[in-house]
Amino acid sequence: MVTAHITHLVGHSSWEGTSERTSEIFNPATGEVIATLDLASKDLVDEIVAKAAEAAKTWGAISIAKRTRVLFKFRELLEERKGEIAKTIVREHGKTYPDAIGEINRGLEVVEFACGAGHILKGGYSENVSTNIDAYSILQPLGVVGVISPFNFPAMVPLWFVPVAIATGNAVIIKPSEKDPSATMEIADLWREAGLPDGVMNVVHGDAEAVNALLDNPTVKSISFVGSTPIARHVYERGVAAGKRVQALGGAKNHMLVLPDADLDLAADAAVNAGFGAAGERCMAISVLLAVDSIADELIGKITERMATLKTGEGMGEGIDMGPLVTKAHLDKVRGYVDAGEAAGAELVVDGRQGDWVGGTKEGFFLLPTLFDKVTKDMSIYTDEIFGPVLSVVRIKSYDEGLELINSNEFGNGTTIFTNDGGAARRFQHEVQVGMVGINVPIPTPMAYYSFGGWKNSLFGDTHAHGMEGIHFFTKTKAVTSRWLDPSHGGLNLGFPQND
């Protein structure tokens, strides 16, 4: 099979050099190598940063109106081409086509939010703060900003950051995951087609060497990162040490608390969708179900019935609910957790290591949906972020016990409660120590005009993604205090010119 070759995008042009290091990209449904990818050196990253810095000077000085027109055109092109990009995501990541379309649509919401950035960038004005003295604030771009994107949302996560950064006048260098970079490349080309000047949007591919080069380069003023908690911590600590702004979104262990008065059919649907959608490879996946004892058996029965109807297979297949995992190494890791949960004494209700999938090949990276019951908080399937289609049920006696489990967890990304008791729901949203909360909603990902991000070890840095926090992250505020002498002082004549 002839493989494609993917290289860096320096402004509007493909890099023309020869890379000393490359990596392979796989089709997860077949296990085949479909492309090779150039990996950047530190020197190359520094070269691209220098080009972006020159572009940032011009782009940051362009009027907000002209920047907005580029954003509107980009939004139009992304809407037109999202089907092509979704197929690319299926081929490299493995998720189903409807799921890939869904992630692009969520990214489009951020583009649409960024189209209105002119309203948000107005700043403030106070007249006569002292006698004849006015004060006002203005928001200005940072310059060159870096984005480091994960494999699980190769379109949506770049769209969380890049449109906001560009709308606020910055030049961007994005490093997509080396596992599935092509969607980012296609999106970058749409920016060119939309009229973005050369050098404002750049794509560099690589591993730890490229990441550290972005973190260390003093011209890069901020870093936006999404990934695992250990790497998020590294990005934050190294970036801050280099004097950068950093928003580093890390891992998660999201709990769903189901109370006895909940609609159990609604809760079962939600558990299946949030637990197994995208093969569990998303930071907002529900991986722990906290079920009060009195309804646990009935709820598990309903979940098991629904799991029996799920079709796992190649992401472009008709009626496929779940695709493969992204790599063989990740498949082996997730299967290892299933083995560990069984060995630790959890009850394996549905074993995803058994069964067939549709399409793909036997070499594909498939694990079917897996369900554990009677999981305890000392088991690795409870403590660790598995990032796969594994749902663990922990039986609890009360709301208070469930709340304590959630609040004592090291992660605080997302959580949700299922109940018909408004008082319990209101108490939960107030008491739970988690950044994003759902009430009878399985995946409480906020809309673009709110900000995305968790608490505790799910976020390093103070700023969440998109929304108002995103605008402020990519701008610096300047306060101006001014006084102008009145014309009566004998200075300027401010009257209309006359022809004598």
> Per residue in 405-444, pLDDT tens?
999 999 999 999 999 999 999 999 999 999 999 999 999 9
User: Do 111 and 194 share a domain, yes or no?
Assistant: yes
Confidence (pLDDT) at 486 = 75
- What is the DSSP annotation of 203-262? E---SHHHHHHHHH-TTEEEEEEES-HHHHHHHHHHHHHTT-EEEEE----EEEEE-TTS
User: Do 57 and 174 share a domain, yes or no?
Assistant: yes
Instruction: Take residue 417 and report the two structure tokens written for it.
Output: 């409660």
User: Do 283 and 178 share a domain, yes or no?
Assistant: no
Q: Looking at the predicted structure, is the pLDDT value of residue 496 above 80?
A: no
Q: How much is the pTM? A: 0.94
Instruction: Provide the CATH number for the domain around residue 66.
Output: 3.40.605.10
Q: Looking at the predicted structure, is the pLDDT value of residue 495 above 80?
A: no
Confidence (pLDDT) at 230 = 97
Q: Is residue 444, in this structure, part of any structural domain at all?
A: no
Q: Looking at the predicted structure, is the pLDDT value of residue 1 above 80?
A: no
Q: Is residue 346, in this structure, part of any structural domain at all?
A: yes
User: Do 371 and 244 share a domain, yes or no?
Assistant: no
Q: Looking at the predicted structure, is the pLDDT value of residue 491 above 60?
A: no
Across residues 471-485, what is the average pLDDT? 95
Give the CA diameter of the chain. Answer: 100
Across residues 150-174, what is the average pLDDT? 98
Confidence (pLDDT) at 298 = 98
Report the candidate in 457, 460, 453 with the shortest Cα–Cα distance to residue 414.
Answer: 453
User: Do 180 and 229 share a domain, yes or no?
Assistant: yes
DSSP, res 278: G
Question: What range defines the domain where residue 140 resides?
Answer: 4-250+458-481
Q: Is residue 128, in this structure, part of any structural domain at all?
A: yes
Pairing relationship of beta strands 144-148 and 21-27 according to DSSP bridges: unpaired
Across residues 353-372, what is the average pLDDT? 96
- Mean pLDDT of all residues belonging to the chain: 96
Q: Is residue 283 annotated as part of the catalytic site, yes or no?
A: yes
Q: Looking at the predicted structure, is the pLDDT value of residue 494 above 90?
A: no
Q: Is 180 left (phi over 0), alpha (psi -120 to 50) or beta?
A: beta
User: Do 423 and 476 share a domain, yes or no?
Assistant: no
User: Do 299 and 242 share a domain, yes or no?
Assistant: no
User: Do 268 and 180 share a domain, yes or no?
Assistant: no
Binning pLDDT at 50, 70 and 90, where does residue 485 land?
Answer: confident
Confidence (pLDDT) at 3 = 81
Confidence (pLDDT) at 207 = 97
User: Do 237 and 274 share a domain, yes or no?
Assistant: no
Instruction: Provide the CATH number for the domain around residue 413.
Output: 3.40.309.10
Binning pLDDT at 50, 70 and 90, where does residue 399 land?
Answer: very high
Q: What is the pLDDT of residues 237-290, one digit of tens each?
A: 999 999 999 999 999 999 999 999 999 999 999 999 999 999 999 999 999 999
Catalytic-role residue among 283, 300, 303, 367: 283
Q: pLDDT over 70 for what percent of the chain?
A: 97
Across residues 223-244, what is the average pLDDT? 98
Report the candidate in 166, 244, 238, 242 with the shortest Cα–Cα distance to residue 202.
Answer: 166
Q: What is the pLDDT of residues 69-115, one digit of tens each?
A: 999 999 999 999 999 999 999 999 999 999 999 999 999 999 999 99
Q: Is residue 105, in this structure, part of any structural domain at all?
A: yes
User: Do 167 and 98 share a domain, yes or no?
Assistant: yes
Q: Looking at the predicted structure, is the pLDDT value of residue 500 above 70?
A: no
